[in-house]
Amino acid sequence: MFQLSKKVEYGLIALRHMAMHPMGQVFTAKELAREYDVPYELLAKVLQKLARAGIVHSTQGVRGGYALGSDPRAMTVATVIQIIEEEKPMIAECYVEGPDSCSIFDSCTIRKPLGKVQRDLNILFDKMTIHQII
């Protein structure tokens, strides 16, 4: 309940690891998985998503792997979540899927007030960068 997914956690751990080393250094999914004792296949999937989004740069083949694709100071936790989950962290479904997703949308009286919480939450995640978690 109300938790970040393992995928997001693994992604943040991996990004942090890369951010702690010289920019451009390449790491394989396998070594990252071993280092942090994380399921390799799952981490691999996460890194692939981050690669598709351009946050990390991937190179295939022998001696391939992943390297940071942009400045960790400009890389927010919000962005990372957004990429991995394919949506922003929203505290209510209707904020994501719209009116038709909620059977009580019209009679709901807390949507607007909770919007304030949502906005503050967005600010929270937007403020925190990968660089800051080092």
Partner DNA sequence: TTGAAATCCGACTTCAGGAGTCCGATATTG
Partner DNA sequence: CAATATCGGACTCCTGAAGTCGGATTTCAA
Binding residues for DNA, per CB under 7 A? 1, 3, 5-7, 28-30, 39-42, 44-45, 47-48, 51-52, 58-66, 85, 103
Give the residue from 33, 27, 36, 22 showing the smallest Cα distance to 56: 27
**Which partner, DNA, a second copy, none, binds residue 58 by CB below 5 to 8 Å per kind?**
DNA
User: Token pair 């009580």 is at which residue?
Assistant: 104
- DSSP bridge partners of 56: 68
Give the residue from 116, 110, 82 showing the smallest Cα distance to 94: 110
Query: With contact defined as beta carbons under 8 Å apart, do 80 and 11 qualify?
Result: yes
Minimum distance from CB of 99 to DNA (Å)? 16
Minimum distance from CB of 106 to DNA (Å)? 15
Give the footprint of a second copy on residues 74-113 (CB under 8 A): 77, 85, 87, 89-93, 103-104, 107-110, 113
Give the footprint of a second copy on residues 31-70 (CB under 8 A): 35-38
Chain-centroid distance, C-alpha 81: 3
Question: At what angle are helices 77-85 and 40-52 packed, to 10 degrees?
Answer: 110
Q: By the criterion CB under 8 A, which residues form the site for a second copy? A: 1-5, 9, 12-13, 16-17, 35-38, 77, 85, 87, 89-93, 103-104, 107-110, 113-114, 116-117, 120-121, 124-125, 128, 132-133
